[in-house]
């Protein structure tokens, strides 16, 4: 097949996206496909008439993940046309000639439904869920409203808008403060005092004009992927220090991950059952990953759903798939098959 792997972009998760995209690209090439790796924002300046026939390594210039957030201003300055469009030169044209586009995007415009809606209008087949469920899942405030409507346990919290009062004290300390539409734990802080709270709110508003303040759950952290409506094994995430922030997620050796998680059978089934309920409640399609905290008293809380889970060397969904005998290359093929089946099901 002719496949485009689409990554990069201009979100704070750019580096993570490029790392995911590189792994996907290399796996699909190894599987015998004709694959082009594109940065959705920077695009491609060359002749794209026979792009899938070119003998080149598209991953040569793709870097790794650093401990700090990417310099988005520098990336934007690289566009010769000033970057007025999110899609770089020839991106849409090349995607339209592919059999399927594998979305390796993470963060704002890649996961909030805008790219998916554009591809739907252009008739481009892509991996992952559709534009509606992407938008619902990306907005943590909306997602939590849906969780409550469907009796899905989630930490209590409030939504703040930039310019309004801070509403300090409505959620007791310690509490979690995070941007409403962020990802990869960028802009997430634990506030244990009034001073912490003010700094945390300011940090969250650096990335979004809305922020979530929610109950801090002390305990164990888990994640559970759902593919085609069925939950995979549960994985436990235990950072060696601090919480599961950007550094601990993507720097090798920062976190101990155990899959399948060492849990009572009833707790494992409960997390899997809630994951499948979240998948249905948010109208998710194809695949997604749900994140959880289990309090010291055994209560389970769903934090959020990730519609384009990471596919980096330290990512969780490849480990969950491996626990049921599906290696990385086979996982990529599975995701592509679901995308192609979705096209056949659509009238």
**pLDDT tens digits for the chain (347 residues)?**
999 999 999 988 899 899 999 999 999 999 999 999 999 999 999 999 999 999 899 998 775 555 556 788 898 999 988 888 999 999 999 999 999 999 999 988 899 999 999 999 999 999 999 999 999 999 999 999 999 999 999 999 999 998 887 888 899 999 999 988 765 456 689 999 999 999 999 998 888 889 999 999 999 999 999 999 999 999 999 977 555 444 444 455 678 999 999 999 999 999 999 999 999 999 999 999 999 999 999 999 999 999 999 998 779 999 999 999 999 999 999 999 999 997 764 43
SS3 71: coil
Residues 6+ apart with CB under 8 A from 126: 100, 101, 102, 103, 115, 116, 119, 339
**Looking at residue 241, what is its pLDDT?**
58
Q: 137-153+219-325: which CATH topology?
A: D-amino Acid Aminotransferase; Chain A, domain 1 (3.30.470)
CA–CA dist 142, 191 (Å, integer): 23
Domains 137-153+219-325 and 157-215 share a fold: no
Give burial (CB, 10 Å; 0-12/13-18/19+) of 17. Answer: buried
| List of E strands, the chain | 2-7, 34-39, 100-103, 157-161, 175-179, 189-191, 210-215, 219-227, 230-231, 235-239, 255-258, 287-295, 300-306
Q: Which one of 3.30.390.50, 3.40.50.20, 3.30.479.30, 1.20.1250.20 gives the CATH number of domain 2-126?
A: 3.40.50.20
Domain edges within the chain: 2-126, 137-153+219-325, 157-215
So what's the pLDDT on residue 250?
46
pTM assigned to the model: 0.90
- Taking CA atoms, 282 is separated from 148, 223, 318, in Å, by 12, 17, 22
How confident is the model at residue 238, as a pLDDT?
92
The architecture of the domain spanning 157-215 is: 2-Layer Sandwich (3.30)
pLDDT for 285 equals 97
CB–CB of 139/181 below 8 Å? yes
Dump the DSSP string for 95-121.
HHHSSEEEE---SHHHHSSHHHHHHHH
- Dihedral (C-alpha) 341, 342, 344, 347: value to the nearest 10 degrees? 170
């Amino acid at each position: 097949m002719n496949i485009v792997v689409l990554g990069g972009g201009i979100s704070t998760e750019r580096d993570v996206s490029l790392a995911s995209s590189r792994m996907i690209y290399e796996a699909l090439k190894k599987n015998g496909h004709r694959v082009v790796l594109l940065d959705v924002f920077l695009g491609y300046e060359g002749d794209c008439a026979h792009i899938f026939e070119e003998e080149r390594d598209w991953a040569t210039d793709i870097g790794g993940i650093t401990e700090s957030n990417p310099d988005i201003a520098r990336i934007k300055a690289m566009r010769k046309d000033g970057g007025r469009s999110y899609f770089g030169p020839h991106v849409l044209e090349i995607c339209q000639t592919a059999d399927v586009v594998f979305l390796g995007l993470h963060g704002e415009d890649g996961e909030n439904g805008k790219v998916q809606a554009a591809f739907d209008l252009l008739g481009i087949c892509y991996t992952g869920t559709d534009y509606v469920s992407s938008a619902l899942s990306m907005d943590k405030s909306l997602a939590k409203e849906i969780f409550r409507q469907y009796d899905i346990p989630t930490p209590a919290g409030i939504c703040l808008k930039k310019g309004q009062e801070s509403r300090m004290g409505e959620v007791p300390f310690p509490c979690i403060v995070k941007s409403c539409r962020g990802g990869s734990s960028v802009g997430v802080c634990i506030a244990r005092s009034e001073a912490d709270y003010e700094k945390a709110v300011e940090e969250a508003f650096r990335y979004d004009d809305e922020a979530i303040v929610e109950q801090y759950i002390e305990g164990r952290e888990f994640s559970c992927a759902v593919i085609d409506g069925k939950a995979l094994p549960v994985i436990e995430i235990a950072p060696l220090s601090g919480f599961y922030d950007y550094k601990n997620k993507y720097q090798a050796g920062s976190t101990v991950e155990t899959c399948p998680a060492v849990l009572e059978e009833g707790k494992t089934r409960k997390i899997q059952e809630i994951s499948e309920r979240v998948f249905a409640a948010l109208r998710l399609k194809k695949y997604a990953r749900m994140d959880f905290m289990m309090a010291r008293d055994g209560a389970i809380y769903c934090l959020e759903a990730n519609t384009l889970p990471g596919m980096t060397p330290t990512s969780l969904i490849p480990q969950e798939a491996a626990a049921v005998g599906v290696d990385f290359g086979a996982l990529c093929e599975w995701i592509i098959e679901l995308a192609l089946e979705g096209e056949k099901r659509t009238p």
